[in-house]
């Protein structure tokens, strides 16, 4: 079988959580694989990450260059095209960087591309069988990939348990000289930090969270009234912010806030993996949704099949009368 590689992102000398999830994913592809981690960056921060990765991977390729100080997908793509073998299987996280890099890379490598993969179900010669989800997680699909010319695969963050075995005692190989031309027609300027809102939902113990099921901006007050009766704060899922019905600072999810409440009331939220990625600390989750196929019911502790527009006002009234 072709060699498996993982691309590791990192920040402030710490590898992303995905680093060890990718190691686990690689083992699901081939339990005996000797997997190589690729780490790019600049200076001493890079060495720290490479040394940590060598605990989990038998080999770590280090690429050190000032042009790699911030990961620019176009630059990393060139580097990988210059250095990966033609039939390589490359795994990376399905995060905002992976989404930027992976599809174009697969074209340049003339490899198969599969994104947001949640499971690997064996390889048959040059056919790799994978599982991914469609329609916001409402259905899953078996997919076959012809990996005879390699594969670029993005793996769902949190979709695989971290590989905690840190006994790889791997070696770090400095490949900086092989990187080649690292110029790009897209240039990183700066990071604009998220705006701070009136309420810090990352500190809230109880959240009443609202999603698309609220249907109309005028209905938001239904949720606010319930939160008030419960002594909770209001948060929301992405469509509510997209519609400009609530501030971005109230959004739970990978592209919003990461919250860790004790109790999370998901009202009319379908529960995409991006939303659930912002819900940490194992809260007690109540899902209220009229669509029982919604993925939120797979992760909730308690589910209620109901239209939130009818159910929430009744709940508010009962709590108010207590």
Site for another protein in 235-254 (CB under 8 A): 238-239, 241-244, 248-249, 251, 254
Does the footprint of another protein cover residue 308 (CB under 8 A)?
no
Among 102, 155, 236, 279, binds another protein (CB under 8 A): 102
Name the segment binding another protein (CB under 8 A); options: 19-27, 60-68, 170-178, 224-232: 224-232
C-alpha dihedral, 312 to 261 to 299 to 23, nearest 10°: 160
Q: Which of 14, 135, 161, 165 binds another protein (CB under 8 A)?
A: 135
Q: Which two tokens stand for residue 160?
A: 């695989």
Q: Using CB under 8 A, which residues numbered 167 to 186 contact another protein?
A: 184-186
Q: In angstroms, how far is CA 42 from the centroid of its own chain? A: 24
- Judged by CB under 8 A, the number of residues near another protein is 98
Site membership for another protein, residue 322 (CB under 8 A): yes
Phi-psi region of 244 (alpha: psi -120 to 50; beta: other; left: phi over 0): left
Angstrom distances, CA of residue 92 to CA of 9, 64, 279: 9, 19, 22
307 touching another protein, by CB under 8 A: no
Asked whether 266 and 285 are in contact (CB, 8 A), the reply is: yes
Nearer to another protein, 62 or 77 (CB): 77
Which run of H or E residues covers position 131?
A: strand 127-134
- Taking the C-alpha atoms of residue 255 and residue 84, their distance in angstroms, rounded to an integer, is 31
Q: Which of 36, 40, 52, 133 binds another protein (CB under 8 A)?
A: 133
For residue 14, state whether it binds another protein (rule: CB under 8 A): no
> Which CA distances in Å does 33 have to 4, 6, 120, 124, 130?
7, 12, 14, 15, 17
Q: Which of residues 51-80 bind another protein (CB under 8 A)?
A: 73-74, 77
Q: Is 132 in the site for another protein (CB under 8 A)?
A: yes
Contact status: 228 vs another protein (CB under 8 A): no
The least distance separating another protein from the CB of residue 38, rounded to whole angstroms, comes to 19
């Amino acid at each position: 079988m072709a060699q498996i590689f993982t691309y590791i992102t990192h920040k402030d000398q710490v590898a992303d959580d995905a680093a060890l999830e990718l190691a686990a994913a690689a083992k699901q592809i081939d339990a005996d694989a000797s997997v190589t981690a690729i780490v790019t960056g600049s200076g001493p921060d890079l060495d720290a990450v490479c040394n940590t990765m060598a605990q989990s991977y038998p080999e770590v390729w280090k690429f050190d260059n000032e042009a790699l100080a911030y990961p620019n997908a176009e630059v990393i793509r060139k580097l990988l095209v210059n250095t990966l073998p033609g039939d390589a299987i490359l795994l990376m996280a399905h995060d905002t960087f992976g989404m930027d890099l992976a599809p174009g890379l697969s074209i340049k490598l003339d490899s198969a591309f599969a994104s947001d993969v949640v499971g690997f179900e064996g390889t048959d010669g040059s056919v790799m069988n994978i599982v991914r989800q469609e329609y916001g997680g409402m259905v899953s699909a078996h997919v076959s990939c012809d990996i005879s010319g390699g594969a670029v695969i993005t793996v769902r963050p949190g979709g695989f348990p971290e590989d905690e075995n840190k006994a790889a005692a791997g070696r770090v190989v400095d490949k900086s000289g092989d990187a080649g031309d690292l110029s790009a027609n897209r240039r990183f300027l700066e990071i604009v930090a998220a705006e701070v809102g009136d309420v810090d939902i990352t500190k809230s113990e109880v959240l009443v969270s609202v999603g698309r099921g609220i249907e109309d901006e005028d209905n938001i007050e239904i949720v606010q009234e319930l939160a008030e009766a419960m002594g909770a704060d209001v948060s929301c899922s992405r469509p509510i912010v997209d519609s400009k019905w609530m501030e971005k600072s109230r959004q739970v999810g990978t592209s919003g806030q990461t919250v860790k409440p004790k109790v999370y009331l998901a009202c009319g939220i379908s529960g995409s993996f991006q939303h659930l990625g912002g819900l940490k600390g194992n809260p007690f989750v109540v899902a209220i949704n009229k669509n029982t196929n919604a993925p939120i019911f797979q992760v909730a502790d308690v589910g209620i099949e109901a239209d939130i527009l009818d159910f929430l006002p009744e709940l508010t009234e009962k709590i108010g009368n207590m």
